[in-house]
């Protein structure tokens, strides 16, 4: 069997190695357009900042090492220009010599990946404008920085690449501005959770121009002007375009393969395309979203590697299936960690789901153990069934552990109420006896049993201030004086029983505290006395951050 693979990074390299492990006699040829195979896309921004010092560390394997271990013929700087299914060949151009030739195959695997979005804007072809997708891109940017010593950079796009590049350029002492069309960074997150990311980015000196469009570029000698809507100009020495990626599907078009959303390659659960003996994996393919079952594009290394393994199994006569992607991701943002899995609240509603949520801000480990820090956790679930739909966490420690637990819970089909039953590892330096994931489960169970009724940030502006409801802040007097929501009366939870006659039993009570714990206790005290109570999910800590960010953005 002769297998030709187009693309030698995540999906393609994984498939090649798996095919060899399953079939020692297969002839395996990999064509890679760039000069590198099996390289770490996700590590590229960290080379710019000097965190990764040796460029050789960016490549996990080389053509030589792949041949030595697996006897795989890895041909770099070879571009496949067309697929010819009727002849079962691919047309190839050797980018080093200019030679054009055809290579036959028995099985073909396409792993072309995605390509950066480059908008059709005036001046976009400037040599001061860069994209970051390959090792060559990285070396080009690094060389420009070393030679030109730029002081100011503008980054168009506030996703994973945009934020990672911003951090690394800032670490090099550069003045950095991120321009983003939506009024938030990191679209996998709901706006309220992204507000915490905005705060961390601003604290580290990165300027944000959110809700703004880039309309063009103009070179001014050594500088370049970034033209924004409304006529504003940002002056920079270099620009990074990190607007996003689209499937690199030109080969699929040439082969007449069925296409999916945004021109992606349509595949079935076996990673087979619409043409016999042609498979496809990675950022170029359309997959099913694991939570909704809807068609989706999810450009992440983890799914690409898994798809490569599935395709390899089936190429070798097996019967493996890919069950879909749920978009689990994580990013380092200066000192903060932000992670998400599944659907955020906004996308769950767009999918037509009736959703509820719990928002909590527990410590990352036992409060009495030194060095603890709070995290903000949001778990989204279906109202009637309590099926977990997604989760987002931002914080400074322990975020990765909790998002992975929640990712597994989604994959296993657990209900939010079942999170309380998970037995998770505990020692004071790592967690609490009631882990934050368990706490989310306790909250969901209280909702299910009617012990907890919540009110939400989006309701705050509609709360009447005419005395028809009671607005209660259950924090200490000192906390209340440091900042509170207008119209809220302060009765510390520890004084509530003695001062309960200050609250009208005929009116609903809306309660808030710093994190949501004391206000829940206050709600239960009042409920046991016959009051109708609602507890604010997220606490004042959450309210203060999101409200301040909204004010800055005029939302």
CA distance linking residue 140 with residue 179, whole number of Å: 22
CA distance linking residue 74 with residue 28, whole number of Å: 8
Pairing status of strand 285-288 against strand 295-296: antiparallel
Say if residue 136 is exposed, middle or buried (CB neighbours under 10 Å; 0-12, 13-18, 19+): exposed
DSSP state of 383: T
Instruction: Please confirm, yes or no, whether 42 is among the known catalytic residues.
Output: yes
Tell me if residue 338 falls in helix, strand or coil.
Answer: strand
Q: Which of 548, 550, 555, 501 is nearest to 529 (CA)?
A: 501
Pairing status of strand 27-32 against strand 214-220: unpaired
> Could you say which of 2, 27, 35, 42 is catalytic?
42
Annotate 179-219 with DSSP letters as a single string. Answer: EESSSSS-TTS-HHHHHHHHHHHHHTT-EEEET--EEEEEE
Strand order across the 214-220 sheet: 214-220, 223-228, 233-236
CA distance linking residue 477 with residue 474, whole number of Å: 9
Measure Cα distances from 283 to 10, 286, 297, 375 in Å: 9, 8, 7, 31
Per the CB < 8 A criterion, the answer to whether 476 and 502 are in contact is no
Tell me if residue 465 falls in helix, strand or coil.
Answer: coil
Residue 259: strand pairing partners: 265
**Contacting residues for 347 by C-beta, under 8 A, at least 6 apart:** 390
**CA 204 distance to own-chain centroid:** 20
- Only one residue has tokens 């580290």, namely 204
CA distance linking residue 38 with residue 26, whole number of Å: 20
Measure Cα distances from 109 to 101, 326, 455, 550 in Å: 18, 23, 51, 47
Pairing status of strand 489-490 against strand 470-473: parallel
Catalytic residues, by residue number, are 42
């Amino acid at each position: 069997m002769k297998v030709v693979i187009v693309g030698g990074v995540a999906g393609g390299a994984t498939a090649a190695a798996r095919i060899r492990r399953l079939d020692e006699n297969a002839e395996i040829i990999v064509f890679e357009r760039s000069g590198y195979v099996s390289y770490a896309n996700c590590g590229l921004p960290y080379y710019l900042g000097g965190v990764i010092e040796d460029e050789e560390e960016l490549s996990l394997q080389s053509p030589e090492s792949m041949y030595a271990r697996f006897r795989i013929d890895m041909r770099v700087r070879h571009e496949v220009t067309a697929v010819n299914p009727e002849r079962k060949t691919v047309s190839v151009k050797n980018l080093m010599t200019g030679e054009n030739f055809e290579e036959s195959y028995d099985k073909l695997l396409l792993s072309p990946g995605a390509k950066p979005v480059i908008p059709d804007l005036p001046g976009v072809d400037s040599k001061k404008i860069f994209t970051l997708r390959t090792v060559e891109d990285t070396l080009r940017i690094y060389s420009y920085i070393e030679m030109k010593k730029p002081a100011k950079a503008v980054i168009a796009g506030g996703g994973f690449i945009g934020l990672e590049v911003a951090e690394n350029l800032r670490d090099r002492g550069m003045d950095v501005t991120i321009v983003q069309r939506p009024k938030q960074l990191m679209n996998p997150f709901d706006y309220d959770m992204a507000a915490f990311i905005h705060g961390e980015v601003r604290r580290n000196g990165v300027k944000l121009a959110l809700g703004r469009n880039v309309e063009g570029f103009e070179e001014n000698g050594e500088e370049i002007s970034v033209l924004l809507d409304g006529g504003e100009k940002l002056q920079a020495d270099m620009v990074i375009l990190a607007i996003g990626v689209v499937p690199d599907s030109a080969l699929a078009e040439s082969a007449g393969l069925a296409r999916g959303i945004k021109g992606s390659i349509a595949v079935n659960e076996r990673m087979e395309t619409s043409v016999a003996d042609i498979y496809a994996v990675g950022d170029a393919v359309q997959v099913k979203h694991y939570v909704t079952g809807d068609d989706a594009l999810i450009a992440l290394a983890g799914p690409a590697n898994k798809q490569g393994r599935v395709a390899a199994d089936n190429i070798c006569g097996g019967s493996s299936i890919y069950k879909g992607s749920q978009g689990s991701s994580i990013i380092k943002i200066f000192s903060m960690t932000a992670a998400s899995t599944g659907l955020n609240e906004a996308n769950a509603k767009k999918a037509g789901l009736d959703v509820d949520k719990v928002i909590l801000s527990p410590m990352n480990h036992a409060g009495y153990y030194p060095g603890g820090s709070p995290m903000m956790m949001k778990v989204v679930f279906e109202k009637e069934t309590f099926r977990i739909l997604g989760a987002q966490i931002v914080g400074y420690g322990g975020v990765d552990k909790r998002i992975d637990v929640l990712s597994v819970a989604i994959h296993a089909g657990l209900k939010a109420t079942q999170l309380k039953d998970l037995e998770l590892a505990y020692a004071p330096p790592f967690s609490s006896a009631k882990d934050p994931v368990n706490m989310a489960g306790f909250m969901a169970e209280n909702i299910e049993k009617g012990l907890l009724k919540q009110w939400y940030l989006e309701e705050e502006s509609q709360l009447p201030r005419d005395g028809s409801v009671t607005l209660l802040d259950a924090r200490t007097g000192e906390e209340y004086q440091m900042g509170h929501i207008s119209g809220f009366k302060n009765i510390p939870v520890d004084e509530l029983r003695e001062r309960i006659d200050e609250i009208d039993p005929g009116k609903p009570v809306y309660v808030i505290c710093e994190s949501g714990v004391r206000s829940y206790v206050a709600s239960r005290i009042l409920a046991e006395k016959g009051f109708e109570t609602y507890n604010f999910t997220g606490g004042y800590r959450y309210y203060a951050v999101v409200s301040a960010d909204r004010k800055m953005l005029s939302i």
